[in-house]
């Protein structure tokens, strides 16, 4: 997958993209990340990318020319057809695991990161395909959200994770939060690993894990249960969990 990021601060990406899973994905040619600074596409010698807003107001607004030209430059130098241009913006649609899976289906993603008081509306209305927000809060710029999204979607790419089963068991992947996990030692500070996980009965273990994922989701994020399709077994398990909860 080709990732292009348009950012006024390219140096911010060196650390996060030079570590862990993202680094391995890049080294294994599963992910190619390029950072483009829109300043190099400004018209004046000072490489100005912002200006005062028409009509007055506080702060500076990012100008359209450098960003339109930066996107055109990227398109002219890549041959992908299945691409998406994404704006990092507080007013965008909330980022979810479903959106990560959707974005992972493109051959090329172009992320547009902003700063200052926002973008000229011609960027948001006519340049990008969609705007995404990672939460209901304001950050200094779009770089951190872009890093979060690239990290999340890269896990969806075949071959990126060490185990093919790792991504499907992540929280939110299938709509539920992840079930509790345990490793050695079997006992620690008087707390023991559930016996079922040591039984070797994989059918019972899988049922236990599903039950616990439902339990965790019910207690922590019950709203998620309204967004997924539950089968008869899930509904039976939920009824048992709720009965236990009322009896506690």
Does 138 appear as a known binding residue?
yes
Does 216 appear as a known binding residue?
no
Half-sphere exposure of 175 (CA within 13 A, CB side): 12
Does 139 appear as a known binding residue?
yes
The active-site residue out of 65, 117, 178, 234 is 117
Question: Strand, helix or coil at 208?
Answer: helix
Does 134 appear as a known binding residue?
yes
90 is catalytic: yes
The active-site residue out of 10, 53, 64, 90 is 90
Does 219 appear as a known binding residue?
no
Does 176 appear as a known binding residue?
no
**Quick one: tokens of 37?**
């600074």
**Are the CB atoms for 83 and 109 separated by under 8 Å?**
yes
**Quick one: tokens of 152?**
């999340």
178 is catalytic: no
117 is catalytic: yes
The active-site residue out of 65, 130, 151, 170 is 170
222 is catalytic: no
Give exposure, 31-57, as e/b (b: 16+ Cβ within 10 Å).
Answer: bebebbbbeebbeeeeeebbeeeeeee
Q: How far, in Å, CA of 209 to CA of 186, rounded? A: 18
**Are the CB atoms for 109 and 1 separated by under 8 Å?**
yes
Residues of the binding site: 114, 134-139
Residues assigned a catalytic role = 90, 117, 155, 170
């Amino acid at each position: 997958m080709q990732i292009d990021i348009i950012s006024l601060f390219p140096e911010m990406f060196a650390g996060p993209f030079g570590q862990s899973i993202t680094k391995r994905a890049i080294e294994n040619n599963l992910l190619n990340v390029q950072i483009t600074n829109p300043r190099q596409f400004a018209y004046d010698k000072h490489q100005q990318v912002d200006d005062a807003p028409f009509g007055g107001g506080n702060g500076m607004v990012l100008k359209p020319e450098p960003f339109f030209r930066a996107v055109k430059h990227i398109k002219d130098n890549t041959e992908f057809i299945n691409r998406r241009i994404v704006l990092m913006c507080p007013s965008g649609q909330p980022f979810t695991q479903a959106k990560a899976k959707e974005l992972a289906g493109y051959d090329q993603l172009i992320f547009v990161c902003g700063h200052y008081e926002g973008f000229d509306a011609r960027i948001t209305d006519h340049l990008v395909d969609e705007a995404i927000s990672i939460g209901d809060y304001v950050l200094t710029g779009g770089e951190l959200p872009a890093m979060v999204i690239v990290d999340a979607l890269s896990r969806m790419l075949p071959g990126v994770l060490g185990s093919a089963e790792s991504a499907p068991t992540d929280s939110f992947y299938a709509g539920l939060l992840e079930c509790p996990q345990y490793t050695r030692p079997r006992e620690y500070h008087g707390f023991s690993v559930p016996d079922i996980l040591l039984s070797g009965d994989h059918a019972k273990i899988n049922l236990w894990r599903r039950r616990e994922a439902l339990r965790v989701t019910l207690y922590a994020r019950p709203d998620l249960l309204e967004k997924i399709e539950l089968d008869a077994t899930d509904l039976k398990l939920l009824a048992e969990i709720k009965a236990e909860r009322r009896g506690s």
